């Protein structure tokens, strides 16, 4: 599809700070947009429907899947997460840089559907820091933290399939590095 070079996918293990990096990038560079994913999980404190996610029921999510309204999805820790086709294709038509923050499986699906998209993998400085960040959230029980850490090892092993890589030591510089990647791929990426 035309406009694929304006599509950017950011992934990384839970706790790497990918959402924080993208939030900083968007605050500093409002010309870049962010897709809003649909999810069946409950909102965390401070999250708003239509701003952070579209919070939907499992039945509604499955209906959207059947109607081909979701281009990628995953089930993570018992909840669905997915990207609405309308969200990304509108931005590509408008030639507006757009970022999807999604899981590793979803990133592979997006790259297959939109080969001109750029995938960016965010890594933690090390696994101990990743665990510290997960615990500092205070939003999950021990079993969920352990699931996230186990899954992180598999996700990091798949980082080799990404176009670009960032290590999030500090949010500000990492967000600016992401901005540089976006500018480069818009200028030199395939249409």
CA distance from start to end of the chain: 8
Strand pairing report for 37-39 and 53-55: parallel
Q: At what angle do helices 142-157 and 127-137 cross, to 10 degrees?
A: 140
Which pLDDT score is estimated for 74? 82
Concatenating the DSSP letter of every residue in the chain gives: -TTGGGEEEEE--TTS-HHHHHHHHHHH-TTSEE--EEESSPPPTT--BTTTEEE--HHHHHHHHHTT-EEEEEEETTEEEEEEHHHHHHHHHHT--EEEE--HHHHHHHHHH-TT-EEEEEE-S-HHHHHHHHHHH--S-HHHHHHHHHHHHHHHHGGGGSSEEEE-SSHHHHHHHHHHHHHHHHHHS--
Q: Model pTM?
A: 0.83
Residue 65's Cβ-count burial label (10 Å; 0-12, 13-18, 19+) is middle
How far is the C-alpha of 164 from the C-alpha of 118, rounded, in Å?
8
Which pLDDT score is estimated for 191? 64
What is the pLDDT tens value at each position of the chain, 191 positions in all?
788 999 999 999 988 999 999 999 999 999 999 888 899 999 989 999 988 899 999 999 999 999 999 998 888 788 998 889 988 998 999 999 999 998 887 888 899 999 999 999 999 999 899 899 888 888 888 998 899 899 999 999 999 999 999 999 999 999 999 999 999 999 987 76
- CA distances to 100, 132, 144, 186, 189 from 81, in Å: 12, 24, 17, 27, 28
Which among 77, 79, 116, 84 has a CA at the least distance from the CA of 100? 84
Which pLDDT score is estimated for 87? 86
Residue 119 tokens, joined: 């995938």
Read off the pLDDT of residues 13-52 as tens digits, 9 standing for 90 and up: 988 999 999 999 999 999 999 888 899 999 989 999 988 8
């Amino acid at each position: 599809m035309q406009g694929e070079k304006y599509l950017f996918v950011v992934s990384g293990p839970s706790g790497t700070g990918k959402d924080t990096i993208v939030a900083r990038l968007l605050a500093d560079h409002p010309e870049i947009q962010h897709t809003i994913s649909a999810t069946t999980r409950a909102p965390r404190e401070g999250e708003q429907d239509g701003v952070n996610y579209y919070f939907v029921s499992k039945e509604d999510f499955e209906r959207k899947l059947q109607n081909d309204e979701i281009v990628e999805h995953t089930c993570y820790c018992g909840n669905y997460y997915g990207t609405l086709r309308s969200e990304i294709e509108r931005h590509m038509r408008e030639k507006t840089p757009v970022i999807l923050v999604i899981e590793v499986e979803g990133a592979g699906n997006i790259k297959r559907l939109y080969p001109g998209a750029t995938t960016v993998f965010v890594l933690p400085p090390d696994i101990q820091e990743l665990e510290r960040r997960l615990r500092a959230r205070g939003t999950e029980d021990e079993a969920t933290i352990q699931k996230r850490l186990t899954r992180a090892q598999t996700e990091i092993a798949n980082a080799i399939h990404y176009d670009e890589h960032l290590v999030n030591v500090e949010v500000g510089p990492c967000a600016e590095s992401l901005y540089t990647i976006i500018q480069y791929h818009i200028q030199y990426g395939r249409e």
